[in-house]
């Protein structure tokens, strides 16, 4: 994995299997609307991603050109963005919050699997 999650804004990365560099523009974005990957349209509505980015060096020319991706998808850091003590503090906070979110989602998924099936006998009488 490429260092600690939540790299600084302005960092330029190459994703695994990617051909174009992306510049990190935001952290912790929630997907909304249509999304696509190499295979076509995918369902990620409401998913939390670690980063939002744009193609580098062109930038974001239209509002539908935001790329959402997670830290584990990064193959290489091409250029590290400006890192300050403020960013380091934010990164620690975001890491803790994201880890808690991931734990909560796993617990929720597990709880949903273990939920007992309701006997519909009473509903039919």
Is 18 among the domain residues? yes
Is 67 among the domain residues? yes
Is 109 among the domain residues? yes
Is 4 among the domain residues? no
Structure tokens at 46: 């409401």
Q: Give the model confidence (pLDDT) of 33-59 as tens digits.
A: 777 777 777 777 778 899 999 999 999
pLDDT at 67 exceeding the cut of 70: yes
Q: Which of 2-6, 33-37, 100-104, 108-112 has the lowest mean pLDDT?
A: 33-37
Q: Give the model confidence (pLDDT) of 89-106 as tens digits.
A: 999 999 999 889 889 888
pLDDT at 115 exceeding the cut of 70: no
User: 116 pLDDT band (50/70/90 cuts)?
Assistant: low
Closest CA to 73 of 10, 8, 22: 22
Mean per-residue pLDDT over the chain, rounded: 84
Report the C-alpha gap between 62 and 37 in whole angstroms: 18
Q: What is the pLDDT of residue 43?
A: 78
Is 37 among the domain residues? yes
pTM of the model: 0.78
Number of domains present in the structure of the chain: 1
Query: What is the sign of the dihedral through the CA atoms of 38, 39, 44 and 45?
Result: positive
Is 120 among the domain residues? no
Is 2 among the domain residues? no
Is 123 among the domain residues? no
- Domain extent, residue 44, equals 12-114
- Report percent pLDDT > 70 for the chain: 86
């Amino acid at each position: 994995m490429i260092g600690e999650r939540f790299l600084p804004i302005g960092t330029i990365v190459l994703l695994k299997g990617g051909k174009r560099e992306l510049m990190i523009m935001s952290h912790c974005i929630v997907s909304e609307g249509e999304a696509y990957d190499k295979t076509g349209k995918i369902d990620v509505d409401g998913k939390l991603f670690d980063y939002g980015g744009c193609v580098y060096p062109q930038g974001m020319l239209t509002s539908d050109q935001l790329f959402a991706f997670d830290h584990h998808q990064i193959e290489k850091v091409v250029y590290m963005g400006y890192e300050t003590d403020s960013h380091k503090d934010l990164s620690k906070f975001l890491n803790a919050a994201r880890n808690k979110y991931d734990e909560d989602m796993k617990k929720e998924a597990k709880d949903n699997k273990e939920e007992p099936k309701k006997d519909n006998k009473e509903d039919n009488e």
